[in-house]
């Protein structure tokens, strides 16, 4: 149905979303307390001078993270490095090391055209061009082999994002799939993923297939007389993607007013990568906006009477994993839908739309993308229409919507940074960098060149696994459960603009 049929009253056990979203913050590090933020404001000029130097000079960035040679010979609590601070649990007494490091990181990001991939490469070079570099509270793995091996394993996870403790429950919802460990068939992750997939993401079920067949016509009704230049209208892309994702999952085609709410998940993407220290330094402006977005998103479920979907998923979970109140599960699920489904798919469509016009996406760097094989816009459109799946996969390989993911080291290990060995203890945060693994020249020759015809394309790890390889779900247990949804939506949105003939392609 496509009507606004709201329930007259909230189902029993549903609860109040405000009590979930505005619960007290958890895991607040000492350097992210309000005392630390107040002191940071008082000493801001000093931190800014140091941070800007670090953000512009790779040597000083490495120094701020690793400290001087003496730092490795004295007690950790005296260490002046951000790594030492992280190893000590980021206490308030070591906050100055974190202040300058955070400012340095933001400076480096701006200097690298706000491209996360360019920032990672810059930091990787700062730490010696090896197999790892340091960022945030942990070490980052960059080679294809190590990233692939991590994705093939049972990962230990925690409430962390971008290798930093996540702001929960105020910015991130608690117990989302992103934070749960996949440590066996009886894990909370396994049950929740299975229930979510069978209820809303099964691309083989009849409801999904019927909606997929209608999707293109719904897009066409909202978007008459499309032109390639329309793909530069980012707001239009995000609104359309929001409508498509929600329709494919719940069968309701949203009004512009409702879609504007969901569009916020892409609009506010920048807030999710910021640590709590930065959020509090900005008086929680970003957190407050995301809190409001989460409340409004759950409000859409209540407005359209869709609580039964969430309650059904909750019932499918073992009793020990069921959420009380049930609205907590709704918040966690819609966070995943908004953050990954709408945010990730919008980023995909924005990249593909830019490439079709031989433009560099807003969050990418021109020196990392080479269009030499396609000298004109017409050649780009022809390449898309001849093999749209390969075009989308190559676009996302070279400019991925998701650049990396955080897991937790299950054992002690030694890594090399700037030519020296450093021992990483068990439970150290470890980020595997999909965006750099997808450019490993040992797997992808001429990795900067955009080439949808490259034979190794299905080895790209873009959707948290090699999408299109045999037994992908068994080999990569955490492969994105919404990858088909994302691809279907991208094909409908971009294909409508390029005039792609429906049925001229086959999904992997």
Half-sphere exposure of 374 (CA within 13 A, CB side): 22
Q: What is the mean pLDDT of the chain?
A: 94
C-alpha distances (whole Å) from 430 to each of 141, 370, 422, 427 are: 7, 30, 14, 9
Q: What is the mean pLDDT of residues 241-270?
A: 97
Q: How far is residue 448's CA from residue 441's CA, in Å, rounded to a whole number?
A: 9
195 within domain boundaries: yes
Tell me whether residue 100 is exposed, middle or buried, using C-beta atoms within 10 angstroms of its C-beta: 0 to 12, 13 to 18, 19 or more.
buried
Question: Is the confidence at residue 425, as pLDDT, over 90?
Answer: yes
What is the total count of domains within the chain? Answer: 1
Rounded CA-CA distance 203/491 in Å is: 15
The pLDDT of residue 6: 43
Alpha helices, DSSP H only, in 317-357? 327-336, 343-356
Q: With 0-12 CB in 10 A as exposed, 13-18 as middle and 19+ as buried, what is 20?
A: buried
d(CA 193, CA 195): 6
Tell me the average pLDDT across 147-151.
98
> Across-strand partners of 160?
165
- Interval 272-287 mean pLDDT: 97
Given a contact cutoff of 8 angstroms between Cβ atoms, the answer to whether 238 and 267 are in contact is yes
**Has residue 247 got a pLDDT over 80?**
yes
Q: How far apart are CA 428 and CA 413, in angstroms?
A: 10
Asked if residue 508 lies in contact with residue 366, where contact means CB atoms within 8 angstroms, the answer is no
Per-residue pLDDT tens over the stretch 335-352: 999 999 999 999 999 999
Q: Is the pLDDT of residue 380 over 50?
A: yes
Burial of 127 (0-12, 13-18, 19+ CB in 10 A): buried
Give yes or no for a contact between 363 and 116, defined as CB atoms under 8 angstroms apart: yes
pLDDT exceeds cutoff 60 at 72: no
Query: What pLDDT was estimated at residue 48?
Result: 97
Structural contact between residues 191 and 329, judged by C-beta atoms closer than 8 angstroms: no
Phi, psi values for residue 504, rounded to 5°: -90, 5
Give mean pLDDT, residues 38-55. 97
Give the predicted TM-score (pTM) of the model: 0.94
Q: pLDDT value at position 133?
A: 98
In a domain, 86, yes or no: no
Residue 427, in any domain of the structure: yes
Q: Could you tell me which of 335, 268, 333, 25 has the C-alpha nearest to residue 169?
A: 25
pLDDT of residue 44: 97
Distance CA 204, CA 219 (A): 22
- Specify if 92 maps to a domain: no
Give the pLDDT confidence of 441-478 residue by residue, as tens digits.
999 999 999 999 999 999 999 999 999 999 999 999 99
Please state which of the ranges 35-39, 204-208, 225-229 shows the lowest mean pLDDT: 204-208
In the predicted structure, residue 259 carries a pLDDT above the cut 60: yes
Q: Indicate whether 70 pLDDT > 80.
A: no
Q: What share of the chain has pLDDT > 90, as a percent?
A: 89
Q: Which residue has the tokens 């117990």?
A: 175
How big is the chain, counted in residues?
Answer: 508
- Of all residues in the chain, the percent with pLDDT exceeding 70 is 96
Mean pLDDT of 380-385: 98
Question: Which run of H or of E encompasses 495?
Answer: helix 483-498
Query: So what's the pLDDT on residue 1?
Result: 37
54 found inside a domain: no
pLDDT for residue 9: 67
Q: What are the pLDDT digits (tens) for 128-144?
A: 999 999 999 999 999 99
What pLDDT digit, counting tens, does each position of 285-322 carry? Answer: 999 999 999 999 999 999 999 999 999 999 999 999 99
DSSP code for 282: T
Q: Are 81 and 71 in contact (CB under 8 A)?
A: yes
pLDDT for 508 beyond 90: no
Instruction: For residue 476, tell me if it sits in a domain.
Output: yes
Q: With respect to residue 8, please indicate whether it lies within any of the assigned structural domains.
A: no
Q: Check whether 5 has a pLDDT greater than 50.
A: no
pLDDT band at 199 (very low <50, low <70, confident <90, very high): confident
Q: Is the distance from CB of 140 to CB of 415 less than 8 angstroms?
A: no
- Domain extent, residue 154, equals 17-21+30-42+112-498
Residue 165 has pLDDT above 50, yes or no: yes
Measured CA to CA, the distance from residue 259 to residue 303 in angstroms comes to 13
**Phi then psi dihedrals of residue 370, to 5 deg:** -120, 120
What are the strands, taking DSSP E only, across 265-412?
A: 405-408
Residue 470 included in any domain:
yes
- CATH no. for residue 229? 1.10.630.10
Q: Are 413 and 424 in contact (CB under 8 A)?
A: yes
| All residues at 6 or more sequence positions from 481 whose CB lies less than 8 Å from its CB, including other chains | 193, 196, 197, 201
Q: How confident is the model at residue 204 (pLDDT cuts 50, 70, 90)?
A: confident
């Amino acid at each position: 149905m496509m009507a606004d049929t709201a329930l007259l009253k909230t189902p029993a056990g549903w609860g109040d979303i405000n009590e979930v979203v505005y619960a007290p913050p958890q895991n607040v590090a000492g350097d992210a307390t309000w005392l630390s933020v107040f002191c940071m404001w008082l000493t801001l000029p000093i931190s800014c001078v140091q941070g800007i130097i670090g953000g512009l000079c790779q040597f000083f960035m490495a120094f701020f993270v690793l400290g001087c040679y003496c730092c490795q010979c004295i007690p950790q609590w005296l260490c002046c490095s951000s790594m030492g601070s992280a190893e000590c649990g980021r206490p308030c007494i070591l906050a100055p090391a974190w202040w300058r490091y955070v400012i340095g990181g933001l400076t480096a990001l701006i200097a690298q055209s706000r491209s996360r991939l360019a920032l990672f490469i810059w930091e990787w070079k700062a730490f010696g061009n090896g197999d790892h570099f340091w960022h945030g509270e942990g070490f980052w793995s960059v080679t294809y082999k190590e990233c692939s091996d991590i994705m093939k394993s049972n990962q230990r996870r925690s409430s962390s994002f971008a290798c930093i403790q996540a702001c929960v429950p105020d910015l991130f919802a608690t117990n989302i799939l992103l934070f749960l460990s996949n440590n066996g068939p009886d894990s909370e992750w396994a049950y929740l993923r299975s229930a979510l997939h069978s209820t809303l993401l099964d691309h083989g079920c009849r409801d999904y297939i019927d909606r997929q067949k209608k999707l293109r016509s719904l897009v066409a009704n909202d978007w008459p007389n499309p032109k390639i230049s329309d793909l530069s209208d980012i707001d239009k892309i995000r609104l359309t993607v929001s409508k498509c994702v929600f329709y494919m999952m719940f069968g309701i085609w949203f009004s512009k007013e409702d879609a504007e709410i969901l569009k916020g998940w892409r609009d506010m993407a920048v807030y999710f990568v910021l640590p709590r220290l930065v959020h509090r330094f900005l008086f929680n402006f970003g957190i407050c906006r995301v809190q409001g977005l989460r409340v409004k998103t759950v409000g859409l479920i209540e407005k359209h009477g869709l609580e039964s979907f969430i309650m059904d998923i909750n019932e499918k979970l073992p009793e020990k994993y069921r959420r009380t109140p049930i609205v907590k599960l709704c918040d966690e699920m819609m966070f995943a839908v908004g953050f990954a489904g709408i945010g990730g798919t919008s980023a995909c469509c924005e990249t593909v739309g830019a490439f079709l016009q031989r433009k560099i996406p807003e969050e990418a760097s021109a020196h990392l993308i080479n269009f030499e094989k396609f000298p004109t816009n017409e050649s780009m459109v022809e390449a898309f229409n001849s093999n749209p799946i390969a075009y989308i996969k190559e676009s996302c390989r070279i400019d991925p919507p998701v650049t990396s993911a955080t897991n937790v080291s299950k054992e002690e290990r030694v890594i090399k940074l700037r030519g020296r060995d450093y021992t990483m203890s068990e439970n150290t945060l470890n980020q595997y960098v999909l965006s750099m693994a997808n450019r490993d020249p040992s797997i992808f020759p001429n990795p900067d060149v955009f080439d949808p015809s490259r034979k190794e394309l299905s080895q790209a790890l873009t959707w948290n696994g090699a999408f299109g390889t045999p037994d992908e779900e068994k080999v990569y247990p955490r492969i994105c459960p919404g990858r088909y949804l994302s691809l279907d939506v991208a094909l409908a949105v971009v294909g409508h603009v390029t005039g792609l003939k429906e049925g001229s392609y086959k999904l992997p």
